[in-house]
Structure 1
């Protein structure tokens, strides 16, 4: 069984972008080092950030690798994946954001995610943001609001980002 786990782990490993071949490497190893770098086998979620604008609040999730499918849906409450414990964010309305297949940790199990884990936010609409899971190939976030959010989502590239814009009345006039 242990051999199977090691074999499975070896198949999914990737070479870090900072890795380079030693100076004494053979011609075949040097050719591999000069080959174009490939994106990680699974998307890595590395950060989440937020900002307030004149007519919308924005959540941005930064991804290393190819953007995975993302779902955003309203939920009655936020729960941590795996444990099912309630996420302690104040609000009456919540959005669940799931990226899958994705991970917020590397092949060695160390976190690559550098954003907030649980944060109260004081923007016109967005009141809280939490990393709610990095579990079984899915990375999930929860966003909290006092009123029902009206939102739109889109993807940006180079670097890969997933964006949720939550509209509110213009405050810059």
Structure 2
């Protein structure tokens, strides 16, 4: 009887050793995405047309992503944000050169002015983890284009915050996948 109990205990121990590594592997592969980011890199858009004016652009750094905020005078704003091979200037169609490994085209359905803007460096982003350059692509027929040089094609999201007669288009680009 003692031999039978020893044999059963040995088989149980051997079985648990075989199961344990697969359980540990399953636990490590089901861990969530980095920083909880699940955005992806597909285009984001709200196609509505509005009578709005782009009034400013600013950037910020967060632990998991870099952020661009486009201030708009108008209660709502349409937009298109997508990775492209080349960003083109509004109205003339010439390429807008950008630093970085990927180019993000931000089209804001709001008129803008380049009078107060530094065309090639709208926002200082030196030292940012993801952003490399934010450049003015112009405004034509009620829409404005901004080219964003990004370190690489990374997950991004875009959304609008509304506050009465003003809106903010927010574009976040993750630091990594």
TM (norm. structure 2) is 0.62
What is the CA-CA distance between 1:116 and the residue it aligns to? 4.5
Q: Which has the larger radius of gyration?
A: 2
Give the Cα–Cα distance (whole angstroms) in 2 for the partners of residues 47 and 114 of structure 1: 9
**C-alpha distance in structure 2 between counterparts of 1:92 and 1:148, whole Å:** 7
C-alpha displacement at 1:127, in angstroms?
Answer: 0.5
CA RMSD across the alignment: 2.0
Aligned residues: 122
Structure 2 match to 1:130: 135
Correspondence 1:74-85 to 2 at 5 A: 74-85=83-94
1:1-173 alignment to 2 at 5 Å? 42-100=51-109, 102-105=110-113, 114-119=116-121, 121-122=125-126, 123-158=128-163, 159-168=166-175
Residue ranges of structure 1 left out of the alignment (5+ in a row) = 1-40, 106-110
Structure 1 residue 68 displacement after superposition: 2.2
- Residues 46 and 115 of structure 1 are in contact (CA less than 8 Å); yes or no, is this contact kept in structure 2? no
Q: Deviations over 1:11-56 (max 9, x none)?
A: xxxxxxxxxxxxxxxxxxxxxxxxxxxxxx7100011111111111
Describe the superposition over 1:124-172 as per-residue Cα deviations: whole angstroms up to 9, x where unpaired. 0110101212012211111111211211111112241000111125xxx
TM-score (norm: length of structure 1): 0.64
Could you list the runs of 5+ residues in structure 2 that have no partner in the other structure?
1-49
**Could you say which structure has the higher helix fraction?**
2
